[in-house]
Structure 1
Amino acid sequence: MTFALYLRSCLPSARRCMILQKKSNIRNTSSMPGGLWPASMVVLPNSLAPAFERFCQANSGPLPLLGQSKPEKWISPAQNAVSDTRISCPQFQKYEFGTCTGSLTSLAEHSEQLKDMVAFLLDCSFSLEGTMEKVGLPGRDPAGPGHIGAYKTTVPCVTHAGFSCPLVVTVRAVPEDKLGKLVQASCSLGGERGQPIHIGDPGLLGIKELSKPDYGDPVVCQPGDVPVFWPSQLTSIGAVSSCKAPLAFVSTPGCTVMTDLRDTKAPSSVLTPERIPEVHHISQDPLHYSIASASAVQKVRELETIIGIDPGNRGIGHLLCNDELLKASLSLSHAHSVLITTGFPTHFNHQPPEETDGPPGAIALAAFLQALEKEVSMVVDQRALDLHQKLIEDAIEQGVLKTQVPLLTYKGGSVEVAQEFLCKDGDPKSPRFDHLVAIERAGRAADGNYYNARKMNIKHLVDPIDDLFLAAKKIPGISSTGVGDGGNELGMGKVKEAVKKHIRNGDVIACDVAADFAVIAGVSNWGGYALACALYILNSCEVHRRYLRKAIGSSGAPQGQSWIQALPSVTKEEKMLSILVHHKVRSGVSGVVGMEVDGLPFHSTHAEMIQRLVDVTAVEV
């Protein structure tokens, strides 16, 4: 049951009496006269007011501050005020030293203490029910008993001066086919406040059961429904509890006051491409969707088109699947710890047998992941460990890579050994990495062997790193991406039927191990460059950034200059190829030790590709 009180801006004393007395129950706040809007209230000692204001500013998603009163005299109810005896539900909760000690229908008995207290108003004007009805979903009856469930998460708000609490969220169960329409309608009607902060498995927010809300009534998901979460002003309850104030009051969950204050950043009903959100499915176990703006999505798709050309006429156009680069980069954007692997020893009669395709793309991706402050490691063949260590050291010295990338090896064994490698203490509930990436990495064929494009078996040179990708399939929370240009690379098992049908020797060489996302490029290095560029685009997108941080903390400006410096560039990739040449690494097609990759010259082919990718990327999104 929703209670509402009329409250004017800045709570002047002449109107503060309205907080101290019971008022009529107003069920339909959308029709309030005089331009009044619903808000929740927090009342704190004046000494804590500056800190709470800054706490709200640092966590504006769940705590959208409309305004606050000044510490001046609070007036008792007018003598002729008539109490509505029909109102029995409390409007405020009382807190003493962080503990809720009671519920009140008015604050009249605390009028003396209120003289040195400040009231804060938090915006509650965005209506999820109205939005759901707009897209053809049943809304909740605002006159019904109770209120919609809200849940404490394990997502910490930004702390400030004694205020520290987890984010609280509300949730709606939405049919999957309505997700896109609902999210766009929410952002159209509510601006940033209407954008969800999570779509998918509640467990990713630390919510164990939707049937057990911390406030209100439980939310029930029917088959085919997807949970969609928004930040809740009930986060303020935890904030008040955390500060241990001698006395404080908060609106009872489900109760609002009415104010003529309104957010000056009121949303426009017309969304620009930079604001139109698109929803994309990035994981099934656990269920997870991500959001980015339409303009950012379009740019990533442009990158995918650019790298999809086929300079070697191998027939890779038949392997292309739409939006694999987009979904892979969205998944990587959410990852905290990434494991990259590379290495295709196609030149088995030479030392080293590696080719120049793979390491540059892997290091370029690692460099940008580092710029995003993600943990990055690489796993390579034991016999090639010294080579890759030298490549990384030289890349740091030449300014291609900023800091060291830990190098690992994996010699194989049982499924348990792979799980032990991927998870802390071998516990599948605690993965050490949440995304695996293979860039031009030799992939295991159906017969258990590893083949180069000419059907030569190179198994004796390849460690079974494929086992890690197979084990990851059975560990919730680990996603994988394979980047390839011929179908015999690790991860290309996702498109193996097309490889068998359309790629020369495909029936023999096709990799049998699938990744969640298969990024196809004319040269695999290009796929690594494109992943780095796509991550730049997504993390420069305000819609995606807010979703990543779950509306917690300041939106801030993207770290444009440092991120641009971390992107691939013609100069950096020329240096990287020179490093490979210095260590006698050969071109994959020609076997030449020189400035070429897959038989294609750097300066007239690869340099042009890198510049095209950067030109698309560096435009504001």
Structure 2
Amino acid sequence: MEVNDPGSLTPEQARALFRAGLRVPTAGWCAGRTQANLIAVPRDHAYDFLLFAHRNPKPCPVIDVTEPGETTAALFSGDLRTDLPGYVVYEDGVPVAEVTDATAYWRDDLVAFLIGCSFTFEGALIEAGVPVRHIEQGGNVPMYRTGRACRPAGGLAGPLVVSMRPIPAGLVADAVRITARYPAVHGGPVHVGDPAELGIADLDAPDFGDPVEVRPGEVPVFWACGVTPQAAVTASRPAFAIGHAPGHMAITDARDSDYLVP
């Protein structure tokens, strides 16, 4: 299934394609519309996750939460079980299935959290002339587990996950300034420069997503990433959870401009 201009689609059109089985990273899709990470946990674990997000707001900025069992959200009028391009199902912290339709795994006690996504500010970067390499290359953003621990909460603990975009050295200050104006979707970067300072050994071997070219004169810039909750699931081993496939986001009804602060 080929999509010639995914940026021109509405959220409804994109969701229909995903519901029909299209699996594809969503960077650059539905221009101007906010994308979100998904993590759904049983009601008994929802408070722990909400506390984890409160204590780690940079990687886990919550933009919407459902009631137990609900399959839509205020910001997402589609079906959370079918209208993302990919899901990962966890049992005891272990990925047991990767699917394009999570209906068979969805439970009546699941509380779904939508977490802000750095794709939200990529349009602003491009408009300002700051390159976004994974979009240029038609791939998924590279994401890395770091050596930095998140602040634990209840039964949840785990490492900070970051996304990386190589930025020309002369544009790094612009990238920091632009993204800092989107605090509800990760905001400014958590690190600029040497990946080893984050405990990342090899930029060409991301834990999630695709490697991208870092050209001469470019600096790797790292933003907190909404895959962090799934890293906490893997580390803490709760009995059950469902997350989005990294980079395969929930395209919400909200607009990127809703999260821009003066």
- 8 Å contact kept, 1:64–1:122: yes
After superposition, the Cα gap between the structure-2 partners of 1:24 and 1:117, relative to the gap in structure 1 and judged at 3 Å, is same
In the superposition, the TM-score normalised over structure 1's length comes to 0.35
Rounded Cα–Cα distance in structure 2 between residues aligned with 1:109 and 1:169: 30
2:204 aligned with 1:207: no
2:167 is paired with a residue whose SS is strand
Q: Does 1:68 align with 2:65?
A: yes
The answer to whether the 8 A contact 1:5-1:257 is kept is: no
Deviation by residue 1:464-485 (Cα, 9 ceiling, x = unmatched): xxxxxxxxxxxxxxxxxxxxxx
Residue 93 of structure 1 pairs with residue 94 of structure 2? no
Correspondences of 1:429-448 after superposition (within 5 Å): none
| Aligned equivalent of 2:146, options 153, 157, 162 | 153
Residue 106 of structure 1 is aligned with which of 101, 110, 115? 101
Residue 116 (1) aligns with residue 109 (2): yes
SS at match of 2:154: coil
* Contact residue 210 and residue 220 of structure 1 kept, 8 A: no
Shift of 1:197: 0.9
Shift of 1:219: 3.3
Q: Does 1:239 align with 2:221?
A: no
Percent of matched pairs sharing the same residue: 30
Measure, in 2, the Cα distance between the counterparts of 1:133 and 1:74: 33
How far the C-alpha of 1:31 sits from its partner, in A, is: 4.5
CA distance in 1, matches of 2:52, 2:194: 28
- CA–CA distance in structure 2, aligned partners of residues 100 and 61 of structure 1: 25
TM-score, normalised via structure 2 length: 0.78
1:60 maps to amino acid:
P
User: What's the offset of the Cα at 1:203?
Assistant: 0.7
- 1:30 partner letter: A
Q: Which residue of 1 aligns with 2:47?
A: 50
Q: 1:38 and 2:32 equivalent? A: no
**Quick one: structure 1 residues 62 and 5, their matched pair in 2 at CA, closer, same or farther if it must change by over 3 Å?**
farther
Instruction: Please show how residues 138-177 of structure 1 align to structure 2 within 5 Å.
Output: 138-140=131-133, 142=135, 145-177=138-170
- The count of corresponding residues between Structure 1 and Structure 2 is 240
Question: How far 1:72 sits from its partner (Å)?
Answer: 3.7
> How far apart, in 1, do the equivalents of 2:50 and 2:69 lie?
18
Instruction: Report deviation, 1:172.
Output: 1.6
Aligned AA (2:215) = Q
SS at match of 2:101: coil
CA contact (8 A) 2:145 2:207 kept: yes
Q: CA deviation at 1:100?
A: 0.5
Greater RCO between the two (CA within 8 Å, min separation 6)?
2
1:29 matched to which residue of 2? 30
- Report the alpha carbon displacement of residue 29 of structure 1 after superposing the two structures with TM: 1.9
Listed one character per residue, the Cα deviations across residues 263-284 of structure 1 (whole Å, up to 9, x for unaligned) are 9994423xxxxxxxxxxxxxxx
- 1:123 touches 1:262 (CA, 8 Å); kept in 2? no
Work out whether residues 120 and 256 of structure 2, in 8 Å CA contact, stay in contact via their aligned partners in 1: no
Deviation at 1:68, TM superposition (A): 1.3
Deviation at 1:181, TM superposition (A): 2.2
Amino acid at match of 1:177: G
Rate the CA distance shift 1:267–1:5 in 2: closer, same or farther, 3 A. Answer: closer
The offset of 1:208, in angstroms, is: 0.8
Q: 1:125 to 1:206 in 2, by over 3 A?
A: closer
Distance 1:122 1:97, change over 3 A: same
Cα shift readout 1:471-522 (whole Å, capped 9, x = no counterpart): xxxxxxxxxxxxxxxxxxxxxxxxxxxxxxxxxxxxxxxxxxxxxxxxxxxx
Residue 254 to residue 38, structure 1, CA distance change in 2 (3 Å): same
Aligned 8 A contact 1:164 1:243 in 2: yes
* C-alpha contact 2:145 2:161 (8 A) present in aligned 1: yes
One-letter identity of the residue aligned with 2:154 = A
The 3 A distance-change label for structure 1 pair 61 and 262 is farther
Contact 2:133–2:213 (8 Å) recurs in 1: no
- What is the DSSP-based 3-state SS (H/G/I as helix, E as strand, rest coil) of the residue aligned with 1:110? coil
Name structure 1 gaps, 5 residues minimum.
8-17, 76-80, 270-621
Distance in 2 between the 1:29 and 1:130 partners?
11
**Pick from 59, 69, 72: which aligns with 2:56?**
59
- Does structure 1 conserve the Cα–Cα contact (< 8 Å) formed by 2:165 and 2:221? yes
For the structure 1 residues 261 and 53, does the alpha-carbon distance in structure 2 shift closer, same or farther, using more than 3 Å as the test?
A: farther
Return the offset for 1:213. 0.8
Quick one: structure 1 residues 217 and 68, their matched pair in 2 at CA, closer, same or farther if it must change by over 3 Å?
Answer: same
Matched residue type, 1:160: A
Secondary structure of 1:136's aligned partner: coil
Structure 1 counterpart of 2:233, one-letter code: V
Task: Identify the residue that residue 242 of structure 2 maps to in structure 1.
Answer: 249
CA distance in 1, matches of 2:246, 2:10: 14
**CA positional deviation for 1:134:** 3.2
Supply the distance in 2 between the matched residues of 1:129 and 1:71 (Cα, whole angstroms).
32
- CA root-mean-square deviation: 3.5
Distance in 2, Cα, partners of 1:191 & 1:247: 30
The Cα offsets for residues 138-176 of structure 1, whole Å up to 9 and x where unpaired, read as 334649643010111100000011111110111122222
Residues 66 and 261 of structure 1 are in contact (CA less than 8 Å); yes or no, is this contact kept in structure 2?
no
- Rounded Cα–Cα distance in structure 2 between residues aligned with 1:172 and 1:263: 19
CA distance in 1, matches of 2:143, 2:132: 16
Q: Secondary structure at the match of 2:164?
A: strand
Equivalence for 2:75: none
